[in-house]
Amino acid sequence: MTLLTPARLKLYPAVLLGCYLIVATAVIAQLVSQWPDLEGVPGVDFVIFYCAGDMAASGLAAEAYRPGKLPEHCLAAYPWMAGAFPSFAEVSASWFYPPIFFLPVHVLSQVHFVLALVLWLGLTGAFLARALRGLMTSTQAWLILATAPALWYTILGGQNAFLTAGLIALFYRQFWGNAVLAGLAIGLLCYKPHLGLVFPILLLAYRRCTSIAVAAATVIALTAASLLAYGTAPWQVFFTENLPIVTEKLTSGDFPLAKMGSGFVFARTLGAPAWAAEAIQILTMLVALGTLVALIRRGASFPLVFAFAVAIALPVSPHNFIYDWVMLIIPAMLLINTVGPQSLKGYEKAILALLWIVPGILLALPKDFPFAPGFPVLIAFAAMIAIRGWAADPRETARKS
């Protein structure tokens, strides 16, 4: 019996989505029955955003970067969180984002946590759905996205992956159309700068000068707004204290390295010393960025060039996490739409399947698991796109364009 017929490939995600929705309905019903004494509320990551916004509103933005200060402030301000998030007080949670991200979470912190979480996921989710229009060419594609473990982890954690993926999708859609919107999208991505390292290369290589100017102006405007709202102290702490803390947590393994997907954490989970892991990370970056430049110089199809850029955005950053995999729907759909689903080879289908399922596997791994399986999958996915982009005849690509 063939398990992967086209009809069954439509049935499986539909059934899985139904199961997800049943569980989500049960969770919501339980929370309603508990109100206002919430326990087991989703949003274990969003609570960091919410508390950071509350600290910013209270004039304590700089303190949010210091370990332990954020949960201490939030549990004092919202005692109910001790029951809703039992482990919150035990972790040295702190704020790892640049001060510009205080601006939206400051606004969200002015309403009740549950409403803020619903607004955050609802607005960013709607933005992602809107930005993906044109890339998602079938109901099957939407079903696969809707059942992706990375997407549901984003929902359960209240993370920002919908915003990140939406900005990248908007950047792609407007790259050749509206230079202002393209520049605005990539400029707004500066709230998560480690995932935006590759995109300026595209703007420079294709000489999108207007987009470059708009992106720079956006970053400057957001920085100025954060300085006016919170002063210089958060920026000083961010650069002098926060970045070394992140580096130390990566090096020591205080972060759940097995759930991450970079050359650095891959090497560390295998027991490599810090200097060797750093060397592997640098090599990963150089090879990835060099391949991107080579594809551009060869005149490869722009959708495949862009797909490769998004695919390497995760592994070229030492720090990435499970929810960030939501953005990989963009290169996956660009690849499928460019070469055609019927033209995909067996190994390509296998890699795409792994891309969908691995985030769910990562969620189940213990923190000290001695292997980071996400990195090899990300590298295989990027290599698959690079091979397709390089193999295409540039003259045929130019003719079709």
Q: Give 65-117 pLDDT, tens digit per residue.
A: 888 888 888 888 888 787 777 766 655 567 889 999 999 999 999 998 888 99
pLDDT at position 94 is: 72
DSSP code, position 240: I
Q: Which of 22, 40, 21 has the alpha carbon at shortest distance from 30?
A: 40
Residues shown for the chain? 401
Structure tokens at 401: 């364009």
Mean pLDDT of 29-35: 57
Q: Cα–Cα distance between 240 and 230 in angstroms, integer?
A: 17
Residue 1 pLDDT grade (very low, low, confident, very high; cuts 50, 70, 90): very low
Least confident of 33-42, 184-193, 214-223, 303-312: 33-42
pLDDT band at residue 393 using 50, 70 and 90 as cut-offs? low
Structural domain boundaries enclosing 112: 31-85+98-240+260-400
| Residue 16 within a domain | no
pTM value > 0.95: no
Tell me, yes or no, whether 21 lies in a domain: no
Distance of CA 225 to the CA centre of its chain: 24
Q: What are phi and psi of 320, to 5 degrees?
A: -150, 165
Q: Is residue 12 part of a domain?
A: no
Sign, Cα dihedral of 337, 338, 339, 340: positive
* Planar angle of CA 124, 127, 133, nearest 5 degrees: 145
Task: With beta carbons less than 8 A apart as the criterion, state whether 334 and 305 touch.
Answer: no
Residue-level pLDDT at 31: 56
How many domains in the chain? 1
Residue 358 within any structural domain of the chain? yes
Confidence label for 384 from pLDDT (cuts 50, 70 and 90): very high
- Residue 5 belongs to some domain of the structure: no
* pLDDT average, residue stretch 248-253: 77
Contacts of 161 by beta carbon, 8 Å cutoff, 6+ apart: 150, 151, 154, 323, 324, 325, 326, 327
Q: Is residue 285 part of a domain?
A: yes
User: Which pLDDT band, with edges at 50, 70 and 90, does 190 fall under?
Assistant: very high
pLDDT tens digit sequence for 135-168? 988 888 888 888 888 998 999 888 999 999 999 9
Lookup result for tokens 């791994």:
365
